[in-house]
Structure formats: C-alpha cells, structure tokens
Amino acid sequence: MTVNTLLRVPEFDLAPEEALTDPGFHSEFPQVNLPFQITIGGLTMDGISISLTKALASGRLPADLEYQDELVSLRFDFDGFSITLYADAILSQDANDAQAPVSVFFTHPTDGHLSPLRYLINSFVAGDTVTMGHLLSSGAAPEQVRPQASTPAAKPARKPLRILLLALLGFGFGFAATDMIYHRVLLSHEPRPLTITQDSQALRATASGQIALINPQAAQGDVAYSLLANRGDLVSVRMPCDCAADPAQGAFQGATVLSGDPILLLTSDTVSATAQLRLSQRGLSRYLAGDQAEVVLADGRIVPVDLRIETPDAQTTATVIWPQDTQAPDPDSIALLRFNKLNGRFVRTLSARLTEVRARLLNKF
C-alpha cells in the first residue's frame, strides 16, 4: 500500500470506463456556466461549465489522454488577480462528434480543491460574482427591499456636532482671511529694524588731564568724577541730578582726556527714547499719506510714535520720537517700524486689542 493510498481514499472505486457511465458524475451536481480555463500538461482549453464532480471544456483532446487519470489545473481569472485549483481527473471526448466538448471527471471530488471550488460556485449562483467576458468580478448581489425596523435616535445626535465643526471651520477660515487682509493691506513694515536709544546728557571734562576718580553710582551732590588737570589742579565735578549714569566710551580711571570730552552719560526716566533709521520710499509715501507710524517692540507692545523726517545727502532719515506719557523701552532693544492705514484713536485701540488677541491665540495653540 502506497503513501497516497493511506492519505487519500478515492471516493469512486471504479474503472475509468465505468466512472464515465456512473450516475454520480452526471446527475447529482448541476453544471454552472462559470468562466474558467483548464490546463492539462501543455494543453490549455476554455471551460464551458463546471460542477463539484465534472467540468466541460472546448477543444480537441489528444488520443493519448483519453480515459487517463491526469492532474489538471483550473484557473479562474478575476479583475486584477486569478485563482488556480489543482485536481485529479479522467478525460473523455466523443471522437465521432467534432463539436463534442471535453468531459473532465474529478476522480477525487473531496480533495483540497473542494472548498474553494464550492465557494466560487455558490458565490456565482448567489450573485456575489458576475462575469465580464472571460473575467470574473466581485460585486454585491442586488438586495431586495425589506422594511427596516425603527432605528434608535442616536444618528440625529451627530447633526449638531457636524454643524459645530462646520461653524468652527468657517470661523477659522474667516479669521485667517481677516488676519491676512489686515497684515498685507492695512499694514506696511519697514524692512530695516531699528535700535531704541535713550537721549542722555554728558558730563564733560572741564580741562585736559587725567581722570583720577570716576563714580557712576554717585548720588545727587556727591562727586561724580575728579580730574587731575595738566596745570596741576584737581578738578572735581558733582552729580547734578538723581539719575543713572554710565561711563562714556574711553572714560575710565587713569584715562587721559581733553577738555570737552564726555566722561559720564546721564539718563533719567523723563528723558525720551529715540531711534533713527533710513526710511524707504514706500514708508515715506505712506507716512506722508497720513498712515500712523507705530513701533512694534520685542515684548509685543505696539506704540504709536512721531517721526522727524530729515533728508541729508538725498537720503531720507526718520528719527523716531518716543511719546512722553508712555514707559520708555529698554535701551539698545530691537524693534520694528510699521505704518497703519487705520487712523483714529478708537480704531488704533481696536487694532491693538485684535493684535493682542491674535498673539494670545497663537501662543495658546
């Protein structure tokens, strides 16, 4: 007894000639016109119909294959892929009839090809697969209209959420469009940044000589600096105000100065902050047209300022004058100068508030 005999028990223990006349191959399973191709060795034929026990194909069968138990392959072509099944079969054809089909009888119908073949046939009969020429296409069968049971009222609850999402989306697009119009049309920024400086008064040397003492932290009335003059005198100068002082460039204890050179630079909160930059032609045109000049500081503050226009050497220079009723910025801070078409205190205040809201939203999200 061979291994094949142990592993596979034939369902029809008949001779090939007897199997062709056995009614189990003919009447128990109807033929289905399912498109397929059958290959036996190097011979390929188009299938006509197929069942779980038998298949019919078109073509001529060589005489040496008549009544032979051969391994055949069944190929079902779908749109984009194909399925190939292998089965043992007995081949037969009426030699007297030129139009007779080739009969393929599966000798072991319950082998491994049974399940996929049965699934294909059942799907074709149920309408899940449809034919397109020599191809098979997967598609849902037309369903009959059935009365639907009343569904719970959970689906309408999605409508308010959808409306809310659409409203938020519309609000976002509107905010983005308004922000773009505001910054592209109503505002014009100068390309060059400006450095905020603070006006200062200088305590200058009253005579030529050497600095013997320099005290920037001196209080009002104390000695701010002492100078050993070339003529041998010691000249001392008191701090004239209660203000901050910084040594001038090149001024330190032991330095030699000439009469009139600055030694200490005095600044106070009452001294206005200024900045100077070369103004572009577009900025000059907008300022002359009445646009409000504004300084955008690094901390986000927007301060309306005045400009003093000067044209030395055919170059337009603008001096920014910081308003007296506003806290002066830190010296040497970087800022931007822009021109705003929106004039009027109310409109400027509203613009500043909108800018603050926009900055907060950007920081939050």
Q: Which domains does the chain have, with CATH numbers?
A: 3-138 (2.40.10.220), 186-197+272-364 (2.40.30), 200-267 (2.40.50.100)
Tell me if 84 sits within 8 A of 116, measured CB to CB. Answer: no
Spatial separation of the C-alpha atoms in residues 317 and 244, rounded to whole Å: 29
DSSP calls for 301-315:
-EEE-EEEEE-GGG-
CB-CB contact of 102 with 93 (8 Å): yes
C-beta pairs of 308-311 under 8 Å, 24+ apart in sequence: 309/279, 309/284
φ, ψ (nearest 5 deg) of residue 12? -120, 105
Question: Can you tell me whether residue 324 is helix, strand or coil?
Answer: coil
Residue 3: its pLDDT value, please?
Answer: 29
Cβ neighbours, 10 Å, residue 287 = 19
Each residue's pLDDT tens digit, 74-119: 999 887 788 898 999 988 888 888 788 888 888 888 888 888 888 8
Rg (CA), the chain: 50
CA atoms of 91 and 103, how far apart (whole Å): 6
CA distance 13 to 107: 9
Q: Which residues of the chain have pLDDT under 50?
A: 1-25, 141-142, 145, 344-346
* pLDDT tens by residue, 146-172: 555 555 555 555 788 888 888 888 888
Q: What is the pTM of this model?
A: 0.35
Residues 199, 183: Cα–Cα separation, whole Å? 32
Number of Cα atoms under 13 Å in the Cβ half of residue 1: 5
Residue 329 CA, chain-centre distance (Å), reads 39
Would you give the end-to-end CA distance of the chain in angstroms? Answer: 80
**DSSP three-state, residue 174:** helix
CA distance 286 to 335: 19
Nearest one of 311, 293, 310 to 302, comparing CA atoms: 293
| pLDDT, tens digit, 9 for 90 and up, residues 186-215 | 787 888 888 777 666 778 888 899 999 998
Predicted pLDDT at 10: 37
What are the strands, taking DSSP E only, across 2-143? 37-40, 43-50, 54-57, 69-77, 82-92, 102-106, 129-132, 135-138
